Amino acid sequence: MKINMDLNQSISINTNECDWEASPQHGVLRKRLERAQEEEGHATSLVQYKPGASFNYHAHPNGEEILVLDGTFSDNSGHYKKGSYIRNPPGSEHAPYSKKGCILFVKLNQFSPQDNSRICIDTEKTPWLAGQGNLQVMPLHAFENEHVALVKWPANEHFQPHTHFGGEEIYVISGEFIDEHGRYPAGTWLRNPHMSQHNPFTEQETVILVKVGHLLT
């Protein structure tokens, strides 16, 4: 069953208004945002591990990207607390679990086959860099056209109107992101297609996860 897989369409989902759904794995719930096939292929989701939940050892043939939103996520390579950004490259394997529970933003099977670096960044300890205007930016990953970063917006910041070559995807971590099309509180996921345009601003300090350049169709 396909979910929100027309990459030429803009979409925004306030995940706070979505119910958690059971997954095939006991103790693991999810909110499905986009999905190419029922239980495999391209997928973006919020995932909740109940305390003690785990998966058997398994592979990610086309990669896995994770941002830990709450709690501590663990696997055979370590423990990753809130704010951890993880990229497990194509062909990687692990057995994930959470002793006390966690909530993750997860993207599956969306890597270029040549994008084979494993990345783990503690974003709560990584310094912010100066961005455009009064924005602060924390680069997380770049490969070919794809660029991933956290962006911190101060209160009452207005950005210039701009166009996204290769599209833009946002997850609002805190605060509220706003543009001429709507208001997007913390927990909102947005995806805007190649050559989409907007004029974003904020009224309160806001932190977003941003991925650009990866939606060329």
What's the CATH code of the domain at 147?
A: 2.60.120.10
Residues 188-216: b if buried by 16+ CB within 10 A, e if exposed: bbbbbbbebebebebeeebbbbbbbbbbe
**Residue 216: predicted pLDDT:** 85
Q: Write the CA distances from 115 to 90, 94, 152, integer angstroms.
A: 8, 18, 26
Q: Residues of the chain with pLDDT > 70: what percent? A: 98
The two tokens of residue 118 are 């494993």
Q: Write the CA distances from 28 to 8, 39, 84, 93, integer angstroms.
A: 31, 14, 19, 19
Inside any domain, residue 3: no
Tally of structural domains, the chain: 2
Residues 18 and 114 in one domain: yes
Residues 109 and 162 in one domain: no
**Residue 30: predicted pLDDT:** 97
> Does the pTM of the predicted model rise above 0.85?
yes
**Residue 98: predicted pLDDT:** 98
Average pLDDT, the chain: 95
Nearest to 107 by CA among 128, 129, 125, 85: 85
- pLDDT above 70 (res 18): yes
Of 120, 150, 170, which marks where a domain is finished? 120
Inside any domain, residue 105: yes
Query: Is the separation of the CB atoms in 156 and 178 below 8 Å?
Result: no
Residues 36 and 90 in one domain: yes
Query: Is the separation of the CB atoms in 35 and 42 below 8 Å?
Result: yes
What contacts 17, CB < 8 A, 6 or more positions away? none
Query: Is the separation of the CB atoms in 25 and 53 below 8 Å?
Result: yes
Cα(215)–Cα(5) distance, integer angstroms: 11
Residue 17 φ/ψ, nearest 5 degrees: -95, 5
Residues 163 and 208 in one domain: yes
What is the average pLDDT across 82-107?
A: 96
Residues 115 and 131 in one domain: no
What is the average pLDDT across 169-190?
A: 98
Query: Is the separation of the CB atoms in 105 and 66 below 8 Å?
Result: yes
Nearest to 104 by CA among 68, 72, 50: 68
Of 66, 90, 120, which marks where a domain is finished? 120
Q: Choose the weakest-confidence range: 57-61, 86-90, 93-97, 203-207.
A: 57-61
Inside any domain, residue 112: yes
The two tokens of residue 168 are 């833009």
Of 104, 120, 136, which marks where a domain is finished? 120
Inside any domain, residue 2: no
**Residue 11 burial (C-beta neighbours within 10 Å; 0-12, 13-18, 19+):** middle
pLDDT-derived band at 217, boundaries 50, 70, 90: low
Domain ranges, residue 65: 11-120
